[in-house]
Amino acid sequence: MAAAVALAGCNIESSPEVNGRHMQPLSDRMLADIDKRNMTKESPILVRIFKEESELEVWKEDKTGRFALLRTYPICRWSGELGPKNKLGDHQAPEGFYTITPDLMNPNSHYYLAINTGFPNAYDRANGRTGEFLMIHGDCLSVGCYAMTDEQIAEIYALARESFFGGQSSFQVQAYPFRMTPLNMARHRDSPHMAFWKMLKQGYDHFEVTHLAPKVDVCESRYVFDADSAGEFSPSGRCPAYRVPQDIAAAVRNKERRDDSETAALIKRGVAAAAVTTGGGMNRTFVAAIAHNGQGAPIRTASGTIPAHASPPAEARTASVLSFFPTESSAGSMQLASASSTSSIAGLLGNRSGPKEAERTVFVGKPKPSPSSVTQATARTEPAGKAANAGASRPPAAPPKQAAGTEPQNVPAARPNLLNGAAPALPTGGFSTRFGG
């Protein structure tokens, strides 16, 4: 039985009992931060994950219609090494572009709360990759998943829940091996995964220049971003004729040229190649907390409680490979980070310009209408049961929706409410029993 669980991933996954933790409200502090940043509680979200840095970002659409960074969370644990998940049982956490729909939200996870990534997506299946039950969840324990503290996953889950209640039909998770900067591309130049990572970087760059969720398609067993076509995309078939909007294509091309030039310069200057790690990762703030307090008892931190069973990867017990690289969450708390990531060498080495740079940035691409406003307009003419599903703000990514497919399992007793604030209201005609409705 244990072997089967290890192969499947985080597969001790659900119980038929609804325990209520999925309806924990957003804190007053979070609601104030959302308001301060010209966002609404119900506006769409987007998630980015960076393995090497062990960070998870939640971006939220502001009133300009573009995404801005709301929170950077330190990841408590992920397993495997840098690189994609290839087969069932390899313990790899996935990398790629995933579409999260309400049915992938699990309110009764054995790991406190869970969001199924939907692996394998269309790209993964076209390339023969296998596996299932790969989650973002709590409990700081990973077998192919991205594990947070329970307090963190409660807040991330609540942000996703509110965006669904606001009319967002799905949100995008972008999982990367590291921040796709010239320095990191230079450090990892010898990796056998570099061709795959360069393809992921195209999607990364599309988001960086637009601050919009890129439209994702798959053809010829590869990702294609923001492609307009009269034909249909078949994951394993020949790509149809398509075009990328001129302003996006030009901005991405210019960014790629700058990044490639900086990467080449760094390699020429002798930037050392990164060592291969095999034990997964844990954000250095959690590593430091365990080193200071020891294992065997829960450790309370500003980013949540590290459970007694949490264990850093072997490499982290001696020296962190990331100690050279500053991260947004280096203070160890769930703080707001800069809304713009710089790709400059100077920025990566500590000369970060922060929010002022973001204010100067001119993004390309045209924002879509807010789903909450579309939902409100539709609600005036449609029955209440349809209003909650009206008008998503983003075209859905090509990978089809993956059912969570979880089997009922025993769940530990519900824990106390960890977050305080005004309780959200479930709209009439709630769309999914995944939220207990």
Q: For residue 145, indicate whether it is catalytic.
A: yes
The tally of CA atoms less than 13 A away on the side-chain side of residue 1 is 2
Question: Residue 147: in which H helix or E strand, if any?
Answer: strand 146-147
Neighbours of 192 (CB within 10 A): 8
Query: Rounded CA gap, 422 and 94, in Å?
Result: 35
DSSP 206-258: HHHHH-SPPPEEEETTEEEES-B-SS---TTSPPPP-B--HHHHHHHHHHHHH
Among residues 76, 140, 145, 219, the one annotated as catalytic is: 145
77-78 and 146-147 beta bridge pairing: antiparallel
Residues 286 and 303 sit within 8 Å (Cβ to Cβ): yes
Residues 309 and 412 sit within 8 Å (Cβ to Cβ): no
- Phi first, then psi: give them for residue 88, nearest 5 degrees: -55, 130
Query: Rounded CA gap, 305 and 298, in Å?
Result: 6
Torsion angle in degrees (nearest 10) through CA of 332, 336, 342, 348: -20
3-state SS class at 306:
strand
Residues 306 and 147 sit within 8 Å (Cβ to Cβ): no
The shares of helix, strand and coil residues in the chain, as percent rounded to the nearest 5, are: 30, 15, 55
Query: Rounded CA gap, 353 and 150, in Å?
Result: 32
- Phi first, then psi: give them for residue 75, nearest 5 degrees: -80, 135
171-176 and 45-50 beta bridge pairing: parallel
Among residues 110, 137, 206, 211, the one annotated as catalytic is: 137
Active site residues: 137, 145
